[in-house]
Amino acid sequence: MLFSLEPGSGFAAALAGELGVEIAAHEERRFPDDECKLRPLVEVGGADACVVLGLHGGPLDSPHDKLWRLLAFVATLRDHGARRVTAVVPYLAYARKDRRTKPLDPIGLRYVAQLFEAVGTDALIVLEAHNVAAFENAFRIPALSLDAHGAFGSLAAELAGGPLAVASPDPGGVKRAQLWREALEAQLGRPVGFAMVDKRRSAGVMTTRGLVAGDVGGATVLLLDDLIGSGETMRQAALALRGAGAASVVACAGHGLFVGEAADVLADEAIARLLVTDSVPPFRLPSDAPVRAKLGIVSCAPLFAQAIRRLHPPG
């Protein structure tokens, strides 16, 4: 069974299509003080169930509200006899806070993991966790982080003719970018370059000196990150790569949050194209924003469908 807790979710509809199933019916009631009640409208006893809800903020609810709704629904399915329940969470809130960087810091990712475990979640599937090692270590249930670059395969084929490189906008994303570089080399049958841009962040303040490790001269650079927030990391990295001789920069990310002044920041001509998945709808970008002209959205539903089939094989 596949349930979707986001009204009109394009991702959930695409996932249902990939799996060849209908979205199962459920009811949600909101009380005058904004408490809510969710329940399935179909019998779930003995069923394998997947519950879809991205935990990005907006456009209707905060990440905290969505997290509660998801946890409550998973618990309800288990209470009524579901055999297994998998949480399908394209964007996982609180995943960025995966370690202590200041005295008395919380570790939000670990606390969220404990909540999922407490309500009886059997498995969790997300796209592009911020730090995959920290993500896997936080959970005591099967927790899968899907690589967003798997959704960008058509882009690589389109750019196959000229020099190509993959870059990380910061040291923390090196492994993510290296995995894509290796996949591209296998796909294209030729070498693909690699680079990393030096960046530091402390107390929410980003600093970069435009330093690039790696040769990108004359290449189209695929700049890969897990998410785009304000867009400043991507802009600064693109400027550094262009300064190092890159012919063009295509900014790619699993999640497009596009908060704050992202529409203006990402319009910078240093970024030739912008590519994200449908894990988060781009509702924060004004429809008439110039950045829309270079924005492409690809579906990550096939990646999730493959993962669900591995966790819930037929029969």
Of the two residues 60 and 294, the one the predictor is more confident about is: 294
pLDDT per residue over 30-54, tens digit each? 999 989 999 999 999 999 999 999 9
pLDDT at 252: 97
Q: Alpha-carbon distance 303 to 299, whole Å?
A: 9
Res 201 pLDDT > 80 = no
Contact indicator for 268, 261 with CB cutoff of 8 Å: no
Q: How far is it, in rounded angstroms, from Cα 197 to Cα 211? A: 6
Q: What was the pLDDT predicted at 313? A: 83
User: Among 23-27, 30-34, 255-259, 280-284, where is mean pLDDT lowest?
Assistant: 30-34
Integer Cα distance of 285 and 291 in angstroms: 8
pLDDT at 154: 82
- Reported as a single tens digit per residue, the pLDDT across 148-163 is 999 998 887 787 778 9
How confident is residue 205, by pLDDT bands cut at 50, 70 and 90? low
- What is the residue-averaged pLDDT of the chain? 94
pLDDT given at position 161: 77
What pTM value is reported for the model? 0.94
The answer to whether residues 162 and 220 touch, using CB atoms and an 8 Å cutoff, is yes
Mapped onto helix, strand or coil, the DSSP state of residue 123 is strand
Please state, in angstroms and rounded to a whole number, the distance separating the CA atoms of residues 277 and 252. Answer: 9
Domains observed in the chain? 2-146 (3.40.50.2020), 149-299 (3.40.50.2020)
What's the confidence (pLDDT) of residue 68?
Answer: 97
pLDDT bin (cut points 50, 70, 90) of residue 143 is very high
pLDDT band at residue 206, thresholds of 50, 70 and 90?
low
Mean pLDDT of all residues in 60-73: 96
Q: Higher model confidence: residue 313 or residue 106?
A: 106
Q: Is the pLDDT of residue 202 over 70?
A: no
Burial class of 23 by CB neighbour count within 10 A (0 to 12, 13 to 18, 19+): middle
Rounded mean pLDDT of 226-244? 96
pLDDT for position 208: 61
Calculate mean pLDDT across residues 115-120: 98
pLDDT single digits (tens) 49-66: 999 999 999 998 999 999
205-212 mean pLDDT = 68
